[in-house]
Amino acid sequence: MKPYFVWIISAIFLFNAALLIASYFLSQRSMQHYPAIGQLICVDGVTMHVVDTGTPELVENNDQQTDVPVVVLIHGASTSLLDFEKGIKQHLAQNMRIISIDRPGHGYSERGNADAPALSASSSTASAANEEIALLDTPDPWTNPQRQARLIAGALEALGAENSIWVGHSWAGSVVMAGLLKENVRAGVLLAGATHPWEGGSAWHVELAATPIIGPLFSWQYIEPIGNLALEGAIASVFAPEAVPDNYLEEMGVVLSLRPQTFQHNAQDLTRLSGYLEQQSLEYGSIRQPILSITGSKDTIVPAWNHDARLALQVPQLQSVELEGAGHALHHSRSREVEQLIEAFVQSLPDSVGLSR
């Protein structure tokens, strides 16, 4: 072999080794800056990261005994429960018990093994066991919103928070709908929620990261070093046409989503969700619980015409509100309006809501 070939091969090896080392240290730095802030709950062998505000102080100091609404905040893609730590959570927590949770494979929640069952409290029956077998019969069952909903329901049972109100942003809209279909969920709130399948794929780097063999190599070598440089532009596209709030990048811990394994999980979620929604969306007509859907008129990521409008044809009790000029991240850009809509929706709920199943 000629000397310059040896030099080229050595340079390529050293370059990729340097990227691996950089990825490792950047991941460690991210976790040091943004450690787990809640409690870790084991659900069927899978660790789930949950933050529970508990009963609001205003309610505890009230002499009258009041049933405090329990609201569960479920984050979307490319983020974690930190996405709700600022904004609507702080206001809603004044009069409600707020539980935010990292979806499986995100933040500090585990993904688990593909062949490990994830049964909720309500899934001990034979029919539920058969459903679990069906969930396992997929390339990666952890990307199935119904399986993620099942784990979340298990964590909520451990907290004594069954029959709660689930709020999901973007990707998590599918989890809210899955919970309404299969779990003990009192009502649902969709914030620019993904509910139906769509045409087209994801960005090339997301598609690549989701592949079985090349994906891990790509994620471990390139995502952390390069992703940090592209974060501001990516976040701006999520908020467009509205401005990104000051200090959003620092406060929301978005860099946690650049950790190699987390990025892979996110890529798998993004590339496979539409396929799951093809089947799940066929069942929406059986849902009887109240649903509030808040959308932005300028949202091009999860456009209302493909999700909210189609859901309205299947669920007559759906309450749809479009915020004029709002983009995809409306829970930040229009936080006060979203807070007021959620409060009014929760106050309008009957004491007992029948489940769809």
- For residue range 331-354, list pLDDT tens digits in order: 999 999 999 999 999 999 987 444
77 and 103 Cβ atoms separated by less than 8 Å: no
Task: Please name the residues in contact with 261: beta carbons below 8 A apart, sequence gap of 6 or more.
Answer: 105, 219
For residues 58, 63, 67, 68, the Cα torsion angle rounded to the nearest 10 degrees is 10
Read off the pLDDT of residues 66-119 as tens digits, 9 standing for 90 and up: 679 999 999 999 999 999 998 899 999 999 999 999 999 999 999 976 544 444
**Residue 48, SS3 per DSSP:** strand
Per-residue confidence band for 3, with pLDDT thresholds at 50, 70 and 90: confident
Q: What was the pLDDT predicted at 1?
A: 58
Residue type, 91: H
Closest C-alpha among 36, 166, 177, 34 to residue 102:
36
pLDDT at 260: 94
Distances (CA, A) of 277 to 19, 197, 198, 199, 344: 36, 5, 9, 12, 29
pTM of the shown model: 0.89
Q: Are strands 185-191 and 97-101 parallel, antiparallel or unpaired?
A: unpaired
Residue 321: name the closest of 352, 343, 353, 349 by CA.
343
Closest-CA residue to 326 (of 248, 241, 237): 241
SS3 at position 284: helix
For residue 74, list its beta bridge partners.
101, 168
CB 55 within 8 A of CB 46: no
**Quick one: which of 347, 343, 332 has its CA closest to 169?**
332
Q: Lowest-pLDDT range, 124-138, 253-267, 322-336? A: 124-138
Residue ranges and CATH numbers for the domains of the chain are 3-348 (3.40.50.1820)
At residue 169, what are phi and psi to the nearest 5 degrees? -100, 135
- Cα angle: 228, vertex 232, 234; to 5 degrees: 95
Residue 136's pLDDT is 45
Q: Is 330 exposed, middle or buried (0-12, 13-18, 19+ CB in 10 A)?
A: buried
Which DSSP state fits 122? Answer: G
Altogether, the residues listed in the chain come to a count of: 357
